[in-house]
Structure 1
Amino acid sequence: MRIAFLMAPEGVEQIELTEPWEAVSETGETPQLISTEPGEIQAFDHLTPAKTFPVDATVDQVSVDDFEALVLPGGVANPDALRIDPRAVAFVRGFFDAGKPVAAICHAPWTLIEADVVDGRTLTSWPSLETDLANAGAHWVDEQVHIDKDGLNTLVTSRKPADLRYFNEAMLSEFGKVNA
């Protein structure tokens, strides 16, 4: 099973990339770092530059059909950059159209709003997105993790890095990859 991790060239919150990546890897599955540009992405520890990570492929080089699930790490700048890139937005929307599970944490639901996939759904995020999500037709809840199933696909959302343990457990469970 290949799982796409979509990120902008810079601005991802490092721990929101590395902990879910490690959780997926521990199941024996293959995470793939997908970005809008080739090369490396620059991760951050809040506002401080942290490590860089190699891009496996760009959104132009892959298709939703290449993956079984999508993970959208947060950070403020990461989803803000993704939501203004039509290729990234189309890639995200494609997972919903294909009925494939998606997991998003922190500010990542900004990209979901732009992909027009939150109307009628219940989800959580960093608290400052509550109004944005409500304006897009979503019901926002203040929970460590929330799983929304609409019959076609599953959306796992979480608020912040402190919730990563719960996010990873729910993500792996919904992706059908609980590591025993």
Structure 2
Amino acid sequence: MATQLNGARIAFLATDGVEQAELDQPWAAISDSGGQPELISLSGGKIQAFNHLDHGDTRSVDRDLDAANPDDYAALVLPGGVANGDFVRADERAVSFVKSFFTSGKPVGVICHGGWVLIEAGVVEGRTLTSWPSLQTDFRNAGAEWVDREVVVDGKLVTSRKPDDLPAFSAAVLEQLA
């Protein structure tokens, strides 16, 4: 039986430089399962997505980070993209937003360079996870066990490496929400 999210609100935290497929595919999976994905960003308006190094489409922000309350969401998804991950981890409000999902024990899905935010939030020590391979030293230095697998589930944390892993990533995120 397919997962039915019954209108659960799921926060997607991203900004300019987000990898478009890593935003769009999990978004569609959640929406198709009856969830309500919402794009939270560092400011309102629109963000610029990318297809690797090429400009992709723009996406409208549903809620500015200052107006977003983690208590209003059942889960969090952090898409990747090198610029996206770097910009988000540099914003103290975003780091605090992410950390609150771990504090409250809610599911968090992270793919590719989105994992940088987890390191900044101080939530990876003792966890097993994956990411884009160039982040493995960062994770190990932060006390995590980095593995090279399509998807890794550690408690309520779901991580994947890259766009090719999106089907497994989306399925694992939905399983956490079931």
TM-score under structure 2 length normalisation? 0.95
Show the counterpart of 2:171.
Answer: 169
Give the match's secondary structure for 2:67. Answer: coil
1:6 to 7, 10, 13: 13
Show the counterpart of 2:115.
Answer: 109
More helix by share: 2
Tell me the C-alpha RMSD between the 2 structures.
0.5
1:28 to 29, 34, 55: 34
Alignment of 1:1-180 (within 5 A): 1-8=8-15, 10-149=16-155, 154-176=156-178
- How far residue 28 of structure 1 moved from its aligned partner, in angstroms, is 1.0
Give the match's secondary structure for 2:101. Answer: helix
What letter matches 2:125 in structure 1?
D
Paired with 2:53 and 2:68, the residues of 1 have a C-alpha distance of 30
Give the match's secondary structure for 2:134. Answer: helix
Q: Following superposition, which runs of at least 4 residues in structure 1 exceed 3 angstroms of deviation?
A: none
Runs of 5+ unmatched residues, structure 1: none
Paired with 2:172 and 2:63, the residues of 1 have a C-alpha distance of 26
Question: What is the percentage of aligned positions where both structures have the same residue?
Answer: 58
Give the match's secondary structure for 1:107. Answer: helix
What letter matches 1:83 in structure 2?
R
Paired with 1:74 and 1:64, the residues of 2 have a C-alpha distance of 20
Runs of 5+ unmatched residues, structure 2: 1-7
Give the match's secondary structure for 1:60. Answer: helix
- How far residue 59 of structure 1 moved from its aligned partner, in angstroms, is 1.2
What letter matches 1:146 in structure 2?
V
Paired with 1:42 and 1:98, the residues of 2 have a C-alpha distance of 30
- How far residue 32 of structure 1 moved from its aligned partner, in angstroms, is 0.2
